[in-house]
C-alpha cells in the first residue's frame, strides 16, 4: 500500500494485453510502426506491464508475426515491463533472443480449447512447460502462467471450480510467479466467478493471482468486483476493449483498460495511469484498425474532448468543486 496526500492508497497493477490479445483477433493488421507507437503511447499513459506480442506460429496468428522486430525496436526506458506469449521451446528461444522481460505460458482447464489452441492436451502442456519455466527462471526471466476457460470452454462446456484450483496450483508449483485466470469466452458473472475464485484461493494466495476477463456478455467489470473483494490486485485489460482469441469462437475483447481505470479510480484505488492519455490512445488505435471504439469510457471521453470539456479523472474520483 502506498501513501498519497497522507491517505493510504490501495494500488492495483494493470497488465495491458491490447497489443497482444487485442491485436491477435483483429482482421486488419497493423504495421510494425503502428504497433510500436501503440505500445509507446500505452507506456506513456503510465501502464507498467504491457504484453507486446507472441512467439507463436505466424501461420496460426499472423497478427503476431514480427514480434521479434517489435521487441528490437522498443525503447526499454523507464520501469515498464514488456511481456510476450510463448507456447513451446521454439518460442522460448525466440523470446530469450528478443530480451523479453516476462514470458506468458498458456494452457487451459479444458482439453477441447487447449487442443484447438496449441494442439496438445492440458496434461501434455503442463509437462512441456516444466523445462521452459526452469530455463526462463535460470536466465532471470519472469514466467506468468495463463489458465484459460476458467468458467467454461467453447468446446467442452462448463468448468468445475475445483479443476481451476488444482491447475492453478500446478502452474504455481512449476515456478510461475503469477497465474492469470482467463474467462476466455467472457461468459462468467459474479455468480460463477466468485465460487471459482474461492476455490482457487484455497490453493493460491491472492498476491499470486491475476484476473483476465473477456467482456463478451458485458460482465467484465462486474466480475472484477468479486476479485477485488478477495484481495486480487492484478488485472489484465485491453485498451479500447480490443481482442479475443482466434481459437475461442465468439469471444470478444478483454474488459477495456479505460473502463477498468475509471472504475478503480472511482473506488479510490490507484493505478498510476493517466486516463485521458489512455483514452486518447484507445481512440487512436480504434481509428487505425477501422473499428468503433469498444470502450464506453473511451467513447465518452472522446466526445468530451471534442466538446473541450474538462478531463474526467476528477469526476471518477468524486471530487466536488464548491460553487
CA–CA gap between residue 47 and residue 80 (Å, rounded)? 7
| Cα separations in angstroms, 71 against 29, 37, 187, 281 | 17, 12, 33, 20
If you ran DSSP here, which 8-state letter would residue 1 be given? -
Total site size for Mg ion, rule CB under 5 A: 1
Minimum gap (Å) between residue 294 Cβ and ligand HMG:
16
Confirm or reject binding of residue 60 to ligand HMG (CB under 6 A). Answer: yes
Total site size for ligand HMG, rule CB under 6 A: 25
When binding is defined by CB under 6 A, the residue of 63, 117, 238, 295 that contacts ligand HMG is 117
Minimum gap (Å) between residue 161 Cβ and ligand HMG:
16
Q: Terminal CA-to-CA distance of the chain, rounded, Å?
A: 34
Site mask for Mg ion (CB under 5 A), range 71-100, x = bound:
------------------------------
Minimum gap (Å) between residue 183 Cβ and Mg ion:
9
Confirm or reject binding of residue 114 to ligand HMG (CB under 6 A). Answer: no
Q: Where are the alpha helices (DSSP H) in the chain?
A: 32-44, 67-73, 89-97, 111-118, 122-138, 161-174, 190-201, 220-229, 257-266, 275-289, 296-306, 313-316
Give residue 117's region: left, alpha or beta (phi > 0; psi -120 to 50): alpha
- Judged by CB under 6 A, which stretch of 26-34, 117-125, 283-291, 295-303 contacts ligand HMG? 117-125
Minimum gap (Å) between residue 208 Cβ and ligand HMG:
17
18 vs 161 by CB, closer to Mg ion: 18
97 vs 309 by CB, closer to ligand HMG: 97
- Judged by CB under 6 A, which stretch of 51-59, 71-79, 164-172, 262-270 contacts ligand HMG? 51-59
**Contact call for residues 153 and 112 (beta carbons, < 8 A):** yes
Residues 6+ apart with CB under 8 A from 104: 51, 83, 84, 85, 86, 143, 144, 145, 146, 180
- Which residues belong to the active site? 245
148 vs 293 by CB, closer to ligand HMG: 148
CB atoms within 10 A of CB 163: 17
Residues 6+ apart with CB under 8 A from 207: 231, 233
Residues of this chain, 9-48, that bind ligand HMG according to CB under 6 A: 21, 24
If you ran DSSP here, which 8-state letter would residue 312 be given? S
Site mask for Mg ion (CB under 5 A), range 14-53, x = bound:
-------x--------------------------------
CA–CA gap between residue 231 and residue 245 (Å, rounded)? 28
**Contact call for residues 39 and 66 (beta carbons, < 8 A):** no
69 vs 287 by CB, closer to ligand HMG: 69
When binding is defined by CB under 6 A, the residue of 71, 129, 146, 284 that contacts ligand HMG is 146
Minimum gap (Å) between residue 313 Cβ and ligand HMG:
28
When binding is defined by CB under 6 A, the residue of 71, 82, 129, 247 that contacts ligand HMG is 247
Sign of the Cα torsion 114, 119, 121, 125 reads: negative
Which residues make up the interface to Mg ion (CB under 5 A)?
A: 21
Which residues make up the interface to ligand HMG (CB under 6 A)?
A: 21, 24, 54-57, 60-61, 85, 87-88, 90-91, 106, 117-119, 146, 148, 182, 184, 212, 214, 245, 247
Amino acid at each position: 500500500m502506498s501513501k498519497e496526500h497522507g491517505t493510504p492508497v490501495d494500488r492495483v497493477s494493470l497488465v495491458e494485453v491490447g497489443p497482444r490479445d487485442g491485436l491477435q483477433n483483429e482482421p486488419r493488421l497493423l504495421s510494425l510502426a503502428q504497433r510500436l507507437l501503440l505500445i509507446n503511447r500505452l507506456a506513456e499513459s503510465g501502464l507498467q506491464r504491457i504484453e507486446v506480442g507472441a512467439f507463436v506460429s505466424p501461420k496460426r496468428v499472423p497478427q503476431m508475426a514480427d514480434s521479434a522486430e517489435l521487441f528490437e525496436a522498443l525503447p526499454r526506458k523507464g520501469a515498464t515491463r514488456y511481456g510476450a506469449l510463448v507456447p513451446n521451446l521454439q518460442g522460448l528461444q525466440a523470446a530469450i533472443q528478443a530480451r523479453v522481460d516476462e514470458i506468458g505460458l498458456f494452457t487451459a482447464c479444458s482439453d477441447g480449447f487447449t487442443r484447438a489452441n496449441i494442439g496438445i492436451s492440458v496434461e501434455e502442456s503442463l509437462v512441456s512447460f516444466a523445462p521452459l519455466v526452469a530455463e526462463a527462471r535460470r536466465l532471470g526471466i519472469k514466467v506468468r502462467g495463463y489458465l484459460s476457460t476458467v468458467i467454461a470452454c467453447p468446446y467442452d462446456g462448463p468448468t468445475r471450480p475445483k479443476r481451476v484450483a488444482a491447475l492453478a496450483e500446478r502452474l504455481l508449483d512449476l515456478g510461475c510467479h503469477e497465474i492469470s485466470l482467463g474467462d476466455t469466452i467472457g461468459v462468467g458473472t459474479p455468480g460463477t466467478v466468485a465460487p471459482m475464485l474461492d476455490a482457487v484461493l484455497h490453493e493460491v494466495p491472492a498476491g499470486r493471482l491475476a484476473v483476465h476477463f473477456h467482456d463478451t456478455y458485458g460482465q467484465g467489470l462486474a466480475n472484477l468486483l468479486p476479485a477485488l473483494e478477495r484481495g486480487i490486485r492484478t488485472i489484465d485489460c485491453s485498451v479500447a476493449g480490443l481482442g479475443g482469441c482466434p481459437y475461442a469462437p465468439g469471444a470478444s475483447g478483454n474488459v477495456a483498460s479505460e473502463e477498468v481505470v475509471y472504475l478503480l479510480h472511482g473506488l479510490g484505488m490507484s493505478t498510476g495511469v493517466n486516463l485521458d492519455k489512455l483514452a486518447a490512445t484507445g481512440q487512436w488505435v480504434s481509428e487505425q484498425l477501422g473499428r468503433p471504439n469498444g470502450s464506453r469510457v473511451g467513447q465518452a471521453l472522446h466526445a468530451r474532448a471534442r466538446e473541450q470539456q474538462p478531463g474526467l479523472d476528477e469526476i471518477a474520483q468524486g471530487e466536488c468543486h464548491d460553487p
